[in-house]
Structure 1
Amino acid sequence: MAAPMAQATAAGTKEVILSTARKFVDFVNKCQSPFHVIEECRTILKAAGFSELREADQWKIEPNNKYFMTRNQSSVVAFAVGGKYEPGNGFTIVGAHTDSPCLKVKPKSNKLKSGYQCVGVECYGGGIWHTWFDRDLTVAGRVMVKNADKIEHRLVHIDRPILRVPNIAIHLMRDTNDNFGPNKETNIVPVLCTAAQAQLEGHTSPKKGEDPTCQADKHPPVLVSLLCTELGIQRQDLLDFELCLADTQPAVIGGALNEFLFSPRLDNLLSSYCALQGLIESSGGEGSLTSDPNIRLIALYDNEEVGSQSAHGAGSMLTEHILRRLSVGGHATCFEEAIPKSFLLSADQAHAVHPNYSEKHEEDHKPMFGKGIVVKFNANQKYATTAVSTSILREVATKADVPLQDFVVRNDSPCGSTIGPILSAKLGMKTVDIGAPQLSMHSIREMGCTASVHQSIALYRTYFQEYPSIYNSVNVD
């Protein structure tokens, strides 16, 4: 396999690549849940001069200005309005997602098992669940809090190991190396503490009927106490929460030559972060925004890992609603006229060829670390890539000096999908599915390439700047 640093773009020296990758690693380590992702995006966007809009308000959008809005505190849409934008002009879009497979705390999670205080969890998405065993886990997400006559959204992250899903000893299950298939309901139940120690320290469950309206009573008293202490609230003020379990081991740059990313949630925080940075870098200073006839936009959605069918997922009306609002001000068909002038990069991580399972890849389509961003093809429309959309992307990549590589699944292998076909079908927009190559997809810790961060940002930045002129050169409707 070719060395990623050697195959990185000509514009990217090793130190630039590592510096860019370190910033991404810092981002991942602040983003243990989709809610934390959006809060970090909000901080970055505001620092870059983007103004926050509320979806429920009227908007006054002006050329050469930058904006963003959130929905459910787990999806964000940010956009920069070209200086020459008029209603009916196109949209230059990158779409990605904020969620990753994980364990989520159940609505009633208080479980006592053989003297252990455990926490009931649901399996979210298509995770490689055996990788969650014997990891030092914590919880992160949002808590809904009663504050006087207000209901507030609060972020929480308990920054230490508090949970563990222990493996069974091989002495008690001799075939565990041959056939390890845990029952997701009965075997994946994290241990929080022992019931005896919890009782000794005063963490006891309320008696039946004591306060049936208190939502905190549905969960282990120790967990509730930790959350309340972290947030500085009383247990009766805890209304509800959405908590993800997360590994406490941080993302790092690794490998003997510092060429790899060892990290949770690469799928799909790498695409989300790079889309965000590409938009910001393309729209700052005295750049090309003033001469752009389009609106440059990123949409980072929640719930892709479970099909995108939510009010804040790519399958919702969110994207169309926003694009229609941005098309207001001209004549009645401005939105419809904008769609054929627009383009979507659907950005989601891609499968690098595995050194120990290379036979799982189609013989002529084996993406490698460092050799560029992966273009995904599927004749059955699991990906939205077409010859037209690929040709446009290749023009962008040439201008960005970013190499591309092709991927298609074997005919005897199932194919995953992305937000690309969903949005392409809903909007009727030209779309190409792309992503950075990685290994261990959907594991609790994934493996990527440092060069991919630099390459992705360069590709998205150039795409935002160059797409309108490339569109004008394409003689295909």
Structure 2
Amino acid sequence: MRFLTYGRPSTCLLHTSHRPTVHFTTSTPSTLATQSASDFIDFVNSSPSPFHAVETSRQRLLAAGFEEIRERDTWSGKLRREGKYFFTRNKSSITAFAVGGKYVSGNGFSVVGAHTDSPCLKVKPHSKKEKGGYTQVGVQLYGGGLWHTWFDRDLGIAGRVLVRTAEGKLDHRLVRVDRPILRIPTLAIHLDRGVSEGFKFNNEVQLTPILASAATKMLNADAEQKNAVHQAPNEDKHAPLLLKILADELKLDGDQLGDFELCLYDTQPSTIGGAQNEYIFSARLDNLMMSYCSITALVNSTKGDSLQKDPNIRVVVLFDNEEVGSVSSYGAGSNLLEITLRRLAAEVETGDKAESSFERAMTRSLLISADMAHALHPNYLEKHEENHRPAMNKGVVIKQNANQRYATTAVSTAIVREVARKRNVPLQEFVVRNDSPCGSTIGPMLSAKLGLRTIDVGNPQLSMHSIRETAGVEDVKHAVALFESFFEEFAVVDEQVFVD
């Protein structure tokens, strides 16, 4: 908070030496917090789609000495104590784990789960549109976005393309057109005087981005046709200009392009802002901030000797499709986490192959479901429960709901409080008002499926599901410290908890 203190006014205020004295008391972020926030910004700027978020995580894990394995291979004889491994599924979810040096089959798992997807606009399978002299791109709504925030933004496109190689094989390629090739313009107020009383639009008709002027494309059509040696096989479904942009970005011939999954995204980079540089202004804070913090904490926790002493396996799993219900083969509703934990219980080289090892491990494990939380909004104080008003830069939020929209219990809360205490991580609490609906997370479904103790936490933010969100610089550091302490301290703390 900033305070203004004025000195005694002079009778001659026009003279510069007699102007009122203004003193500022500021609270700028710490150096460590700024470094953590800057590193997160690099992460989120590199991750305009779930596929890119997974690849960014993959590169960070490789740089930290983690070994990439595959689900389709056997793990027996490969996984060792103190080993660090990861694998991907669908290239949009990633699971990483580090085996404690004291691990034996039946010991627990220290798990942090988050998700890579965010509400966005996705290119339709048949996106080609021509209207009113414009070339447009048809899009689908993904998740529950604040779609009015997508108007008048500089939109790029990113995702994955299946490419036919010279050998005739299909290859997965990431693509990112990092320039504003698309835009959804609002209607001028002169043509819609009622807009000042409420901005309403049809999601199918008015939320369609413009790619180019159809007239300009026609003028260049002959030249393009002469220069086009290879035609894209799906140009009847998508604007040839869009396909040409994709082919040029990938440095491929048009006829090599196959099917693709593409997201629109805001090309304006994430940044640190606010008068005291205390905020992060960014797209996809929900939930790339928790994805970043969990991967970073896992990597950090393996740098010292704590892994050597750990009886548990430390796990991070980043799912896709949380924003649309998690019902996919790579979402939290799939078998991804259960199969991974079952395989680890059976295939890590410990000499104990008891059939009940997985079931015993579940009673010694804890899942932190990490998803962003709602910060107190100064313009809508009445929307917040009066005793549960999380603030940005004040710590990680524990989320609770009596109707099990969150999986937090008194036991899981007590454990995480003790873990946080060991690193001086501040914690806050959130409960939704009784007259307001409550969102949910991957926590309840995984807790029910696995019989796993679970707690829901997240960093507080404003403008959740907007194309441009706001969070606190200090809270990146807080979440990393909490998860790092969890990986290193949970097994010891859990020994102090009575479990029936």
Q: Distance in 2 between matches of 1:457 and 1:17?
A: 10
Determine the structure 1 residue equivalent to 2:152.
134
Deviation of 1:86 (Å): 1.1
Determine the structure 2 residue equivalent to 1:275.
294
- Deviation readout 1:158-210 (Å, 9 max, x if unpaired): 1111000000001111111212122110010000001010111228999xxxx
Q: 2:49 aligns with which of 23, 33, 40?
A: 33
Determine the structure 2 residue equivalent to 1:52.
68
Q: Distance in 2 between matches of 1:319 and 1:123?
A: 27
Determine the structure 2 residue equivalent to 1:440.
463
- Deviation readout 1:80-132 (Å, 9 max, x if unpaired): 00001111110000000000000000000000111110000001000000000
Determine the structure 1 residue equivalent to 2:134.
116
Structure 1 residues 185, 379: closer, same or farther in 2, change over 3 A? same
- Deviation readout 1:269-302 (Å, 9 max, x if unpaired): 0000000010000111x32000101000000010
Structure 1 residues 272, 352: closer, same or farther in 2, change over 3 A? same
Deviation of 1:212 (Å): 12
Determine the structure 1 residue equivalent to 2:172.
153
Q: 1:264 aligns with which of 283, 288, 293?
A: 283
Please state if 1:143 is matched with 2:158: no
- Deviation readout 1:370-407 (Å, 9 max, x if unpaired): 21110000000000000111011100110110111110
Deviation of 1:476 (Å): 2.4
In the alignment, is the contact (CA less than 8 A) between 1:251 and 1:263 conserved in 2?
yes
Q: Distance in 1 between matches of 2:338 and 2:2?
A: 42
In the alignment, is the contact (CA less than 8 A) between 2:266 and 2:467 conserved in 1?
yes
Structure 1 residues 196, 151: closer, same or farther in 2, change over 3 A? same
- Deviation readout 1:332-359 (Å, 9 max, x if unpaired): 1111110010000000000000010011
* Alignment of structure 1 residues 267-346 onto 2, 5 Å: 267-284=286-303, 286-329=304-347, 330-346=353-369
SS in 2 for 1:36: helix
Please state if 1:226 is matched with 2:266: no
Please state if 1:99 is matched with 2:98: no
Query: TM-score, normalised to structure 2's length?
Result: 0.91
In the alignment, is the contact (CA less than 8 A) between 1:198 and 1:204 conserved in 2?
no
Structure 1 residues 2, 476: closer, same or farther in 2, change over 3 A? farther
In the alignment, is the contact (CA less than 8 A) between 1:204 and 1:221 conserved in 2?
no
Determine the structure 2 residue equivalent to 1:195.
214
Q: 2:188 aligns with which of 169, 176, 181?
A: 169
Structure 1 residues 213, 278: closer, same or farther in 2, change over 3 A? closer
Q: Distance in 2 between matches of 1:89 and 1:253?
A: 42
Please state if 1:184 is matched with 2:180: no
Q: Distance in 2 between matches of 1:441 and 1:26?
A: 20
In the alignment, is the contact (CA less than 8 A) between 1:203 and 1:221 conserved in 2?
no
In the alignment, is the contact (CA less than 8 A) between 1:350 and 1:374 conserved in 2?
yes
In the alignment, is the contact (CA less than 8 A) between 2:405 and 2:439 conserved in 1?
yes
Determine the structure 1 residue equivalent to 2:30.
14
In the alignment, is the contact (CA less than 8 A) between 2:27 and 2:276 conserved in 1?
no
Q: Report the RMSD for the aligned CA atoms in angstroms.
A: 1.9
Q: Distance in 1 between matches of 2:82 and 2:322?
A: 31
Q: Distance in 2 between matches of 1:217 and 1:240?
A: 13
Deviation of 1:309 (Å): 0.4
- Deviation readout 1:126-163 (Å, 9 max, x if unpaired): 00000000000010000000003210000011111100
Q: Which protein is bigger by CA-based radius of gyration?
A: 2
Residue identity (%)? 56
Q: 1:371 aligns with which of 367, 390, 394?
A: 394
In the alignment, is the contact (CA less than 8 A) between 2:232 and 2:256 conserved in 1?
no
Q: Distance in 1 between matches of 2:371 and 2:250?
A: 34
SS in 1 for 2:488: helix
Q: Distance in 1 between matches of 2:222 and 2:155?
A: 21
Q: 1:361 aligns with which of 384, 399, 405?
A: 384
Structure 1 residues 139, 2: closer, same or farther in 2, change over 3 A? same
Deviation of 1:213 (Å): 9.5
In the alignment, is the contact (CA less than 8 A) between 1:372 and 1:405 conserved in 2?
yes
Q: Distance in 1 between matches of 2:419 and 2:328?
A: 32
Q: Distance in 1 between matches of 2:319 and 2:68?
A: 17
For structure 2, the residue ranges without an aligned partner over 5 or more in a row are: 4-24, 348-352
- Deviation readout 1:229-280 (Å, 9 max, x if unpaired): 1111122211110000000100000001000000000000000000001000
Structure 1 residues 456, 6: closer, same or farther in 2, change over 3 A? farther
SS in 1 for 2:281: strand
Please state if 1:246 is matched with 2:265: yes
Deviation of 1:20 (Å): 1.1
Please state if 1:405 is matched with 2:428: yes
Point out which structure has higher relative CO (alpha carbons under 8 A, 6+ apart): 1
In the alignment, is the contact (CA less than 8 A) between 1:216 and 1:235 conserved in 2?
no
Q: Distance in 2 between matches of 1:24 and 1:165?
A: 28
Query: TM-score, normalised to structure 1's length?
Result: 0.95
Structure 1 residues 425, 6: closer, same or farther in 2, change over 3 A? farther
In the alignment, is the contact (CA less than 8 A) between 2:372 and 2:458 conserved in 1?
yes
**Equivalent residue pairs, number:** 467
Deviation of 1:215 (Å): 2.2
Q: Distance in 2 between matches of 1:2 and 1:309?
A: 47
Q: Distance in 2 between matches of 1:370 and 1:146?
A: 48
Please state if 1:82 is matched with 2:135: no
